[in-house]
Structure 1
């Protein structure tokens, strides 16, 4: 999936659009150095989320899961991200938060429908 290519310049949000990031990293959750309890909670959360798509639809809610990762270089943020598509079988998207002006724009980017390619 990618953001709708027919978007106008007005809703470009200063080029803060989502973009697909191709990951061919062989990493799996078992390979990540993380506290076992935290790793288990994250895996359980993702597995529950995968099973809840119909529930979200029934409630009229957006079926998505987001993680905000922060911290200095070298602590495993990218490695964690690389394991997710392998674990879930999904794509990864990247958004440069430095190009988002405020919370309103961030909300618009997070909740804006995306068109499939």
Structure 2
């Protein structure tokens, strides 16, 4: 980092775990939430780092199945605002996707953001 310019940033993400089912009654636990990387026009990596200094993003857990509600509700999604034109890579450097204005990239792994 030189001055206020940041060209890459490592974030830690975790998708939500699914809820417990109710097998005896055929109940199904809710799906865990997803982590979305969403491109915003006026966002910078510096702003992202300043707004979320812990750099950890966790989606919500799915609800458990119960007698009164056999289908558990879905966990809350987590959205990460990022600048337009970045590449999203996993911890091994493999490109998961590129963010254009209004696009969403999802992957529940540790990610690294790089300006292209």
TM-score normalised by structure 1 residue count: 0.25
Higher strand share: 2
Higher RCO, 1 vs 2 (CA within 8 Å, ≥6 residues apart): 1
Higher helix share: 1
